[in-house]
Amino acid sequence: METTLRKATAADIPALQELIDASVRGLQANDYTPAQMELALQTVFTVDSQLIEDGTYFVVEQNGELLGCGGWSQRKTLCGGDHHAVREDALLDPSQDAAKIRAFFVHPKWTRRGIGSFLLHVAEEAALSAGFQRLEMGATLTGVPLYLREGYRVVERMEVPLKDGVSLPVVRMEKMVAE
Ligand SMILES: CC(C)(COP(=O)(O)OP(=O)(O)OC[C@H]1O[C@@H](n2cnc3c(N)ncnc32)[C@H](O)[C@@H]1OP(=O)(O)O)[C@@H](O)C(=O)NCCC(=O)NCCS
């Protein structure tokens, strides 16, 4: 059956949150504790509606079912959705700053079939078309093997504070896409 790519819309938000929940619980259990996943699902792993408004968030779907999502951003926020405390909506300067690669989640039923890397290529090409020459992200530990394969390098390890003293280890990674 055919899969299609399209931009996410505000109407997708409930289905996107379900996809994110399934992806986190189904695919991150080797990398994060249950407490880290549950707390992050309340903040960091929530839909970022700013990306949808900006037209920089994409979904792959089949028969109306969302299989994966991901995108990029021309704004300063490195990671985290609408319910994450640390947000910086200021616009980046494509000639100096790195575009942010944002919020990739694939449904556990559909993993390792190229959907994550396909969405990553779509986001990278869109950021390149907007004039960016560098890309960066706050990668989950689960995402690191994909991004290493795609030419990103580790810049630093970071801890995103969640709640009750619990934090989420993520990895800042970057890639040059043009000279
Ligand atoms: C990370 C994620 C988006 C990858 O999606 P995906 O559709 O399975 O990725 P792809 O099929 O395009 O994988 C491409 C390559 O990345 C690497 N890769 C992906 N998942 C991997 C894993 N679990 N272990 C090792 N390598 C992996 C492999 O090299 C893979 O190629 P291969 O399958 O031919 O070996 C998916 O695992 C996911 O949604 N994880 C949970 C949410 C999350 O943490 N997202 C990252 C946010 S930064």
DSSP codes, 52-73: HHHT-EEEEEETTEEEEEEEEE
pLDDT digits (tens, 9 = 90+) for 69-92: 999 999 998 888 878 777 888 999
Under-50 pLDDT residues of the chain: none
**So what's the pLDDT on residue 154?**
98
> What DSSP state is assigned to residue 1?
-
Ligand 1, residues at Cβ distance < 6 Å: 23-24, 27-28, 104-106, 111-117, 139-140, 142-143, 145-146, 149
* C-alpha 50 – ligand 1 centre gap (Å): 25
> What pLDDT shows up at residue 87?
80
Residue 179 pLDDT: 55
Q: From the CA of 158, how far away is ligand 1's center (Å)?
A: 20
- Residue 26 has a pLDDT of 98
pTM: 0.96
Q: How deeply is 11 buried, as exposed, middle or buried, from its count of CB atoms within 10 A (0-12, 13-18, 19+)?
A: exposed
Tens-place pLDDT, residues 27-46: 999 999 999 999 999 999 99
Domains annotated on the chain, with CATH: 4-176 (3.40.630.30)
